[in-house]
């Protein structure tokens, strides 16, 4: 049986992981500015840098101190074969540097993602954009918020989707082609935003985009934090048939294709 957090506990934990995400961002930024940053390939051919590893170490230490009883699934730990037992139903999902391709290319569209999953759902999440100093957070019964550079915390809310005027967020590197074109043919697309990493979920959560369709591989640590923020802002994330909410603790922590939506009330 999963131990579930209360709304007060989620608010407390969310504040703590927001601070951790900022700390990880402080570790990452000097490497982003380094013109000679070395990159190597993992077993799955995806890129990794010392920034990924050092940021993950900061987050792992912070989460272990904060909730020593909750297992942590983190991207680089999984790549190294260190995969905890999550059968208890509650665990952290961490991507210390989502958008490594953007990071290596010196594009500022990379994020730090931390989420708590309970009963296969992300119940709280923090997404930090170090290069822009923008922080997004959200949780069930907590609401969604952002902290822009030099500004305090403010609530955010996804806007209601108008099928006659849709702004689409799309990945720079994944999911283009016939499936995307067919999906978008059902809408009048009046705007398109290309972005890397989990920023796309946040664009919908803050009301600047309406839909993010994703065809192409992704892992649960890529999506959980942004999913939590978007859900708290009134949106949702479903399979491409729009029949079921995207869930977590799947085999290999691998996601199917999905659609992130703004409000549909």
What residue numbers bound the domain in which 12 lies? 7-155
Q: How far apart are CA 52 and CA 112, in angstroms?
A: 10
Residue 161 lies in a domain: no
Q: How far apart are CA 195 and CA 167, in angstroms?
A: 13
Same domain, 97 and 192: no
Distance of alpha carbon 230 from the chain centroid: 10
**pLDDT tens-digit readout, 113-138:** 999 999 999 999 999 999 999 999 99
Same domain, 22 and 103: yes
Which of the four pLDDT bands, split at 50, 70 and 90, describes residue 1? low
Q: How far apart are CA 221 and CA 241, in angstroms?
A: 22
- CATH, residue 177: 3.40.190.80
- Looking at residue 82, its pLDDT comes to 96
Q: How far apart are CA 230 and CA 233, in angstroms?
A: 5
Q: Report how many domains make up the chain.
A: 2
Evaluate whether 93 touches 124 at the Cβ level (below 8 Å): no
Distance of alpha carbon 28 from the chain centroid: 17
Same domain, 87 and 28: yes
Q: Reduced to 3 DSSP states, what percent helix, strand and coil does the chain have, rounded to the nearest 5?
A: 30, 30, 40
Mean pLDDT in residue range 43-69: 90
Question: Across the chain, how many H-helices and E-strands are there?
Answer: 7, 16
Helix axes 7-32, 50-66, angle to 10 degrees: 160
**pLDDT tens-digit readout, 140-189:** 999 999 999 889 999 999 999 999 999 999 987 765 678 888 999 999 99
**pLDDT tens-digit readout, 199-244:** 999 999 999 999 999 988 899 999 999 999 999 999 999 999 999 9
**pLDDT tens-digit readout, 18-49:** 999 999 999 999 999 988 777 777 666 577 88
Of the candidates 108, 112, 138, the one whose C-alpha atom is nearest the C-alpha of residue 125 is 138
């Amino acid at each position: 049986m999963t131990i579930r957090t209360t709304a007060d506990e989620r608010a407390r934990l969310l504040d703590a992981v927001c601070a951790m995400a900022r700390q990880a961002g402080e570790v990452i930024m000097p490497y982003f500015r380094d013109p000679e940053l070395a990159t190597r390939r993992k077993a799955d051919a995806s890129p990794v840098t010392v920034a990924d590893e050092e940021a993950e170490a900061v987050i792992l230490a912070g989460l272990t101190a904060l909730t020593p009883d909750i297992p942590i699934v983190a991207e680089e730990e999984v790549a190294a074969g260190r995969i905890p037992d999550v059968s208890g139903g509650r665990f952290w999902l961490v991507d210390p540097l989502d958008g490594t391709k953007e990071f290596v290319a010196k594009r500022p569209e990379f994020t730090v993602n931390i989420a708590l999953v309970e009963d296969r759902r992300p119940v709280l999440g923090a997404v930090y954009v170090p290069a822009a100093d923008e922080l997004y957070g959200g949780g069930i019964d907590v609401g969604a918020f952002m902290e822009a550079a030099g500004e305090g915390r403010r609530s955010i809310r996804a806007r209601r989707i108008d099928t006659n005027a849709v702004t689409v967020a799309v990945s720079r590197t994944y999911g283009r082609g016939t499936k995307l074109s067919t999906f978008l043919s059902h809408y009048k697309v009046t705007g398109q935003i290309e972005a890397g990493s989990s920023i796309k979920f946040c664009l919908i959560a803050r009301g600047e985009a309406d839909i993010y369709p994703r065809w192409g591989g992704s892992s649960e640590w890529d999506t959980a934090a942004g999913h939590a923020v978007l859900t708290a802002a009134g949106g949702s994330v479903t399979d491409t048939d729009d029949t079921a909410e995207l869930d977590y603790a799947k085999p290999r922590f691998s996601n199917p294709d999905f659609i992130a939506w703004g409000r549909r009330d």
